[in-house]
A = this chain, B = another copy of it.
Amino acid sequence: MKKAVILLSGGLDSATCLAMAKQNSFAPYALSFRYGQRHEFELNSARAVAQAHGVKDHVISNIDLRAFGGSALTDEIDVPKNRDESAISNEIPVTYVPARNTIFLSFSLAYAEVIGANDIFIGVNALDYSGYPDCRPEYIKSFQNMANLATKSGVEGNGSLTIHTPLINLTKAMIIQMGIELGVDYSLTHSCYDPMDNGTSCGHCDACQLRLKGFEEAGLTDPLIYSS
């Protein structure tokens, strides 16, 4: 089986992405980050999802994005609530973390090089998050070009590296339907940007709204508990 690195946030998208990598016969190596996010629930979910899908290994890398600031996910900036759909999909929100996907993909490149993997999976989505510059297909393609010049295998010609984005053009409802077919247990995942102290999801941040709408459109009930 070919090894693949899967970027695993603990959210709905990356859990589905992991299941799809397995479905495509990759041996999955999960990679998560403690990057200064304001709560630890994401990582608990990442651990639970990794375990449920029997990954070969799960590395949680400590990196410090708070040193730079500039995002509601790492700073004391309020997470916006109850935004309308066009605002969610078209604006770069304050929850955007500068260069986050570039940093995450760079670490996945290091991990791939060390374990000898030529495949990286990232659950970016260009429909729901079109406001994030680093979720666009042209960005991913450009990262892949760069990655193939950055590493030993690129120089030595041991096979080129592919960044897989199986969710990039799917709606949230399609992602959920596909995940259910592949046996993803969405009760293990965590999407909320601003959970209560007990981990309950707020239901009103962009991530909760997109998730709830996705389950609704899929004709399914989200197994998570919401605070309101």
A residues whose Cβ falls under 8 Å from a Cβ of B: 59-65, 67-70, 92, 96-103, 105-107, 109-111, 113-114, 133-134, 136, 138-139, 142-143, 145-147, 149-152, 154-156
Contact = CB atoms under 8 A, between A and B. Distances in A.
A98 B70 contact: no
Given A69-B114, A102-B106, 13 more contacts: A61-B64, A62-B67, A63-B63, A70-B113, A99-B106, A99-B113, A102-B147, A102-B150, A133-B149, A134-B150, A134-B151, A138-B149, A146-B146
Q: How many copies of this chain does the complex contain?
A: 2
Contacts of A96: 152
Nearest to A99: B110
Judged by DSSP, the binding face of A is: helix
A96 B110 CA distance: 11
Nearest to A69: B114
Given A68-B111, A145-B145, A99 B150 contact: yes
